[in-house]
């Protein structure tokens, strides 16, 4: 009798553990539009840089859509929410407005992709991940890139995905 009780308890515990492991909900995540910061002198973003920033955001969204660990939230209201929360300020310096935008989109986490441009030769790409409830950062990854070219940005984006253990950008497969 005692053996049956212990066997039943062990079976129930293993079933509970298996269902909790498989029933884990993916983290709801929002990816903001990539932005650019500058070293000492603010300058206009070139047409090529704007296209690279858009590709950076787009590839992050596509990779996270393919991940089992994340559920990408609907970004239809992203532009309006960004305008509402950021106003005329830069999104990188708006005191946790990124988290408020993510929360309004229904996300648990928000990713802010950023290109930091010190010069045409010295740049970095980074992603900042914030908890949408607290606004606190939960992760940052950055890679340095040499040169402001399509190829250096591509390699930087691949490195970000690899470092974050996210699916590789689709463009990298070409």
| Each residue's pLDDT tens digit, 122-166 | 999 999 999 999 999 999 999 999 999 999 999 999 999 999 888
pLDDT in tens, 60-98: 999 999 888 999 999 888 888 888 877 766 676 677 788
Name the DSSP class of 23.
S
Exposure letters 54-88 (e unless 16+ CB within 10 A, then b): ebbbbbbbebbeebeebbbbebeebeebbeebbee
DSSP 170: G
User: Does the domain formed by 26-173 have CATH 3.40.50.10070?
Assistant: yes
CA distance 15 to 32: 39
Residue 8: which pLDDT band, with cuts at 50, 70 and 90?
very low
What pTM value is reported for the model? 0.79
User: Which of the 8 DSSP states describes residue 45?
Assistant: P
SS3 string, 50-96, reads HHHHHHHHHHHHHHHHCCCCEEECCCCCHHHHHHHHHCCCCHHHCCC
How far apart are the C-alpha atoms of 44 and 76, rounded to whole Å? 27
């Amino acid at each position: 009798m005692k053996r049956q009780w212990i066997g039943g308890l062990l079976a129930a515990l293993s079933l509970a553990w298996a269902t909790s492991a498989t029933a884990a909900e993916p983290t709801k995540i929002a990816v903001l539009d990539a932005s650019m910061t500058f070293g000492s002198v603010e300058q206009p973003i070139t047409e090529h840089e704007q296209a690279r920033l858009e590709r950076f955001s787009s590839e992050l969204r596509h990779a996270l859509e393919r991940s089992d660990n994340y559920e990408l939230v609907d970004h239809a209201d992203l532009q309006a929410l960004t305008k509402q929360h950021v106003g005329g300020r830069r999104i990188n310096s708006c005191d946790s407005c990124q988290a408020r935008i993510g929360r309004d989109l229904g996300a648990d986490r928000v990713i802010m992709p950023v290109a930091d441009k010190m010069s045409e030769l010295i740049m970095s790409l980074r992603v900042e991940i914030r908890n949408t409830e607290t606004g606190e950062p939960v992760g940052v990854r950055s890679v340095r890139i040499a040169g402001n070219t399509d190829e250096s940005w591509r390699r930087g984006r691949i490195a970000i995905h690899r470092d974050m253990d996210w699916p590789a950008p689709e463009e990298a497969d070409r």
